[in-house]
Amino acid sequence: MRILSFTSQKEIKKIMHGIGVDPYGMKIMLPKAINFTILLKGINNIAANILKQEMLALGADAAITRGALTGKTKKTDVLLIGSLAQFNSLKTKLKHQPFGLRSIGEELEKGIKDYFRDNFVLSLRKCSLDLGKRTHIMGIINVTPDSFSGDGLYRRGSSDFIGLALKKAEKMVEDGADIIDVGGQYTRPGARGISVIEELRRVMPVIKLLSRSIKVPISLDTSKPEVAKAALDAGAQIVNDICGLRDKRMIKLVAKYEAAVVIMHMLGKPVNMQTIISYHSLIDDIAVYLKNAIELAHSFGVKSDKIIIDPGIGFGKNPVHNFQIIKRLSDFKVLGKPILIGPSRKSFIANVLGDHLQSRIIGTLANCVVAAQNGANILRVHDVKEVNQSLRIFEAIKNADR
Torsion sign over Cα 110, 114, 120, 124 = positive
Half-sphere exposure of 77 (CA within 13 A, CB side): 7
List the alpha helices (DSSP H) in 95-159: 101-115
Query: Which long-range contacts (C-beta less than 8 Å, at least 24 apart) are formed by 84-91?
Result: 84/30, 84/31, 84/32, 84/34, 84/35, 84/36, 84/112, 85/31, 85/32, 86/55, 86/58, 86/59, 86/60, 87/38, 87/60, 87/112, 88/31, 89/58, 90/51, 90/54, 90/55, 90/58, 90/60
375: left (phi over 0), alpha (psi -120 to 50) or beta: left
Check 229, 333, 346, 360 and give the catalytic one: 346
Q: Is 75 noted as a catalytic residue in this protein?
A: no
- Name the burial class of residue 105, with classes exposed (0-12), middle (13-18) and buried (19+) by CB atoms within 10 angstroms of its CB: buried
Q: Is 380 noted as a catalytic residue in this protein?
A: yes
Active site positions, annotated:
346, 380
